[in-house]
Amino acid sequence: MDFDRISEKLAILADAAKYDVSCASSGSKRKNTQKGLGNTGAGICHSYTADGRCVSLLKILLTNYCIFDCAYCVSRSSNDVKRAAFTVQEVVDLTMNFYRRNYIEGLFLSSGIFKDADYTMERLVRIAKKLRIEHNFNGYIHLKTIPGASDELMHEAGLYADRLSVNLEVPTEAGLKLLAPEKNRAEMVKPMTYVSNQLLRFKDERKSLKKIPLFAPAGQSTQMVIGAAGESDKDILITADSFYKSHQLKRVYYSGYVPVSVDGRLPAMGTLVPMVRENRLYQADWLMRFYDFNIHEIVSEASPLLELDIDPKLSWALKNMNVFPIDINTADLHDILRIPGVGLLSATKIIEGRKFSRLGWEHLKKMGIALNRARFFITCQEKKFIKRETSASRIKQFILAGSASKFSQALNPQLSLF
Amino acid sequence: MNEISIYHEAGLLKESPDRLIYDGSFNGFFTAVFEIFELKAFKAEIVKQVKPLPLFSNHRIVITNDSKAQRVLAGLGKKITANSINDIFAVWLSELEIVERVLLGYVLHAFNNGSCIENDYSNFFVLDFKKIVKMVSRERHRMKAFVRFSRLKDDLYYARVDPDFNVLPLIQQHFTARYSDQQWLIYDLRRNYGIYYDLHITRIIELEVIPKNESDLVHDQEQEFRLLWQNYFTNVNIESRKNTKLHVRHVPKRYWKYLTEKGLF
């Protein structure tokens, strides 16, 4: 191994890959076989970058040469950046050696498109195949789907990878036309559809036959860039919701736009990354998937943007005060999940705990419920009548005053006088 | 020392003891639980050997008896699921001061109740028990993440750790299954023992001497791979999203000394 050359390539190709924020390494069922190397199962974050994001995979581009010129991408063909390309063997060696030292859970391999979609995809699949077959590697492999790749290549990819993904990047078709006119939505969706159909087929066959090979056991995901194309939160969430439903995606990632090049169609260089907005979108995404919220309860024509100073669940609660107060000891799970300050785990604890005895404030506190906000929305075996705040705006004031938001610097930038 | 206290020490007086003193072992603790039921001393607390022994307190010394301990655990197995039995072991490994009190409260609650109490979140012992399980679980997860192997000249992959809780027994299975084609050793510097896999089985070992300077022991290519990892780690960071508070929350500083990417090797 030529370490100097690999080091140079690694610097360029890791830097180019970092804007794809998908980092998951869980959800797969691959076990170690025949005394090989590696397995999957729990997602393990082996480290965290200085920006607080988890590092669990070796995330690299095979090459950052690209024939396309998408405005938001750092590797766009018109950008003057250093270009490099790994050989298949170099990627395999890096993956195996990092894995053996427990630095990573596996490989995340993407690429710029050189020559054409199939040529590029074939290289990616070849690396995954080599790891699995020649090196008996059973760790996690996440392969990017190249838009326009053929069904045959996608089939092979599914046999060797744990997760496949193709990034929609721009939430609306109109935005995509503006920022990446050489691409089209249909080309991205086609391989996604092929894989989701295969997943259903394999799942079906597994019911009757036990010995079915694994096919993308960790499913599919996608990513959308936030804040590059002037889209609203409603646009983003509606796209996410429809893809969750139509393609049974495991995750949608929301990545705040980081200005990487000078272009009139995009926010200027130096624009701050919309981190608060990104966080609210993840919270809204969670509400839809785990808290039984309908998308229309979160965003609508009338309010297409999420509030930045409070989370979407609290925002909903304040707009629907008629639903509260909710009695902790009698309400069903659906209602308990609506209480601000009560998460999924706490909701389970409440449901389970009350089978044994009535719950009081002390129990709720010990369960880890955020009482400073939940108290405005619940009743729980009170012995005396407590005067309740019923005005939504007063409640919001109390909650904001009583909590220390991690975003308070971003939302209320204060000038230092000294 | 008068005669009464001598008799107290020998456990010969039949009054219900306030305090049972055990030898600090897992089976010793459950022997004490057995004796609490035997003596009907349900208000007693279980404590480790404490020097000097208090003179006039009403205590009893527990002599570890494996079969008594097993009887308690078997009885528990009929009251709670196997998962919770595993959790009891995990709580034990936390080595926290409150372990005896919480475990005793949990076990008594389990025996006293007709139904399975493992999800009885209305009981404060269960809540504390679950909290400790979570803490140990987190540390175990962090160890799976932060163990960094160095390849030595003889192809042994060696890692040093210093976990908050005694989690090596809890990560043994994970590393054995994953790294089945390489010899490895993970050593707990704080507790002075390690787990070692020789391509066939994993077992506990103790090193007499911990090498101070590893650089002469490592494989020729080892330093190169460490540099590559540091290189990767630096380049995967997005400067404009810098968030040190979040970073330190995920990777507390006490773990930095064993992380290759922090460059303190």
Q: Convert the pLDDT of each residue in A178-227 to its tens digit.
A: 999 999 999 999 999 999 999 999 989 888 887 888 999 999 999 999 99
Q: How far apart are the first and last CA of chain A?
A: 55
Cβ neighbours, 10 Å, residue A326: 19
Spans of all domains in chain B: 1-76, 79-145, 147-262
Tell me what pLDDT residue A328 has. Answer: 93
User: Which of A1, A101, A357 faces B148 most closely, judged by CB atoms?
Assistant: A101
Give the pTM.
Answer: 0.90
- Residue indicated by tokens 């508070």: B245
Residue contact B225–A366, C-beta within 8 A:
no
Q: Are residues B241 and A7, on separate chains, in Cβ contact within 8 Å?
A: no
How many other CB atoms are there within 10 angstroms of residue A253's CB atom?
Answer: 21
pLDDT digits (tens, 9 = 90+) for B176-215: 999 999 999 999 999 999 999 999 999 999 988 877 667 7
SS3 A166: coil
Chain B nearest-CA distance from A257, in A, is: 11
Q: What is the pLDDT of residue B1?
A: 45
In angstroms, the CA B196 to CA B158 distance is 9
C-alpha–C-alpha distance, residues B31 and B20, integer Å: 10
User: Does the CB of A7 have a partner CB in chain B at under 8 Å?
Assistant: yes
Given a contact cutoff of 8 angstroms between Cβ atoms, the answer to whether B62 and B96 are in contact is no
- Cβ of B119 within 8 Å of Cβ of A353? The answer is yes
Which residues on B lie below 8 Å from A44 (Cβ)? 141, 144-145
Burial label for A210, CB within 10 Å (0-12, 13-18, 19+), is exposed
Across the range A166-174, mean pLDDT stands at 92
- A404 at the B interface (CB within 8 A)? no
> Does residue B6 surpass a pLDDT of 80?
no
Distances (CA, A) of A94 to A26, A58, A61, A224, B119: 21, 9, 13, 29, 45
Q: Span B27-48, mean pLDDT?
A: 93
Q: What is the overall mean pLDDT for chain B?
A: 89
Beta strands in A111-250 (DSSP E): 140-144, 163-165, 220-226
- For residue B138, is pLDDT > 90? yes
pLDDT of residue A22: 83
Judge: B147–A102 Cβ closer than 8 Å, yes or no.
Answer: yes
Among A238-252, B60-74, B200-214, B226-240, where is mean pLDDT lowest? B200-214
C-alpha closest to that of A122 among A135, A113, A131: A113
Q: How confident is the model at residue A416 (pLDDT cuts 50, 70, 90)?
A: very low
pLDDT interval class at A403 (50, 70, 90): confident
pLDDT at A8 over 70: yes
Q: Tens of pLDDT along B64-120?
A: 999 999 999 999 999 999 999 999 999 999 999 999 999 999 999 999 998 999 999
- Burial class for A296, CB neighbours closer than 10 Å (0-12, 13-18, 19+): exposed
Q: Report which of B217, B198, B200 is spatially closest to residue B160, judged by C-alpha positions.
A: B217
Contact call for A7 and B227, based on CB within 8 A: yes
Contact with chain B for residue A55, Cβ under 8 A: yes
Task: Average the pLDDT over A53-73 and give the result.
Answer: 93
Cα distance between the two ends of chain B: 56
| Residues of A (230-289) whose Cβ lies below 8 Å from B | 256, 258, 272-273, 275
pLDDT-above-70 percentage for chain B: 90
Q: How far is CA A392 from CA A236, A319, A324, A405, B80, in A?
A: 27, 7, 11, 19, 45
The CA distance from B120 to the nearest CA of chain A, in Å, is: 5
CATH 3.20.20.70 in chain A, residues? 3-298
Give me the pLDDT at residue B18, please: 86
- How far apart CA B244 and CA A345 sit, in angstroms, is 28
Beta bridge partners of residue A220, listed in sequence order: A164
Give the confidence band of B239 by pLDDT, cuts at 50, 70, 90: confident
Indicate if the pLDDT at residue A29 is higher than 70: yes
Q: How many CB atoms lie within 10 A of CB B106?
A: 26
Calculate how close chain B gets to A150, using CA atoms only, in Å. Answer: 31
Shortest distance between the Cα of B244 and any Cα of chain A, in A, equals 6
- Best of A1, A19, A49, A96 to disrupt the B interface (most B CBs within 10 Å) is A49
DSSP letters for B186-201: EEETTTTEEEEE-SS-
pLDDT exceeding 70 applies to what percent of chain A? 94
Residue A31, chain B, CB below 8 Å: the answer is yes
For the residues A7-17, what does the mean pLDDT come to? 95
List, as ranges, residues 179-208 from A with C-beta within 8 Å of B.
Answer: none
What mean pLDDT comes out for the span B123-136?
96
Residue of B nearest to A105 (CA): B145
What six digits make up the tokens of A158?
């599914």
Q: Determine the pLDDT at residue A270.
A: 86
Q: Does the pLDDT of residue B175 top 90, yes or no?
A: yes
Which amino acid would we find at residue A72?
A: Y
Q: What is the pLDDT of residue B214?
A: 72
With a CB-CB cutoff of 8 Å, which residues 285-304 of chain A face chain B?
none
CB atoms inside a 10 Å sphere around CB B232 = 25
Q: Which residues of A23-43 are buried (b: 16+ CB within 10 A; e: fewer)?
A: bbbbbbebebeeebbbbbbeb
Is the Cβ pair B240, A273 closer than 8 Å?
yes
Band (pLDDT 50/70/90 cuts) for residue A388 is low
R_g over Cα of chain A: 24
CB pairs under 8 A between A and B: 160
Query: Phi first, then psi: what are they for A361, rounded to 5°?
Result: -60, -35
Asked if omega into A267 is within 30° of 0 (cis), the reply is no
Name chain B contacts of A278, Cβ cutoff 8 Å. none
pLDDT of residue B95: 94
Please report the pLDDT score of residue B5 as a whole number.
52
Could you tell me the two tokens for A14? 């890791």
- CA atoms of A257 and A229, how far apart (whole Å): 9
If we measure between CA atoms, which residue out of A212, A210, A198 comes closest to residue A164?
A198
Cβ proximity of B233 and A49 under 8 Å = yes
Nearest CA to A109 among A138, A133, A145, A139?
A: A145
pLDDT-based confidence at A392, cuts 50/70/90?
Answer: confident
Assembly ipTM:
0.89
**Rounded mean pLDDT of chain A?**
90
- Exposed / middle / buried, residue A412 (Cβ in 10 Å: 0-12, 13-18, 19+): exposed
- DSSP, res A268: P
Q: Domain spanning A3-298: which superfamily? A: Aldolase class I (3.20.20.70)
